[in-house]
Amino acid sequence: MAEQPEPPRTDFDMYTPEGNQAVATMITGIIEEIRTGQLRRTELADRIQRGTAEMAKQYPEIYDTEPQGDIADTISGECEQQLWQPISRWDW
């Protein structure tokens, strides 16, 4: 099994360290799915939407502007590595 990718950041402007860790875990999972070919670019926005909807049950601030932008910026870094079009928070 491949080593889990580390998100390039750990602060996603959530209200608590636990919220930041939850976002980091979600992003790490998405990046791993991209790197292993389990997630295509056309599926990315839906995958992020599902992840944020699940997280919002415990961390509603996930829908605030700053966390959404931080998620998009972080995942866009991996998109660029894959030669994919970057993602915007407006995509999901």
Q: Are 12 and 24 in contact (CB under 8 A)?
A: yes
Least confident of 5-19, 28-42, 68-82: 5-19
Q: Is 78 within 8 Å of 36 (Cβ atoms)? A: no
For 16-26, how does the pLDDT look when each residue is reduced to its tens digit (9 = 90+)? 999 999 999 99
Give Cβ neighbours of residue 38 (< 8 Å, ≥ 6 apart): none
Residue 46 has pLDDT above 90, yes or no: yes
| pTM more than 0.75 | yes
Distance between CA atoms of residues 40 and 30, nearest Å? 11
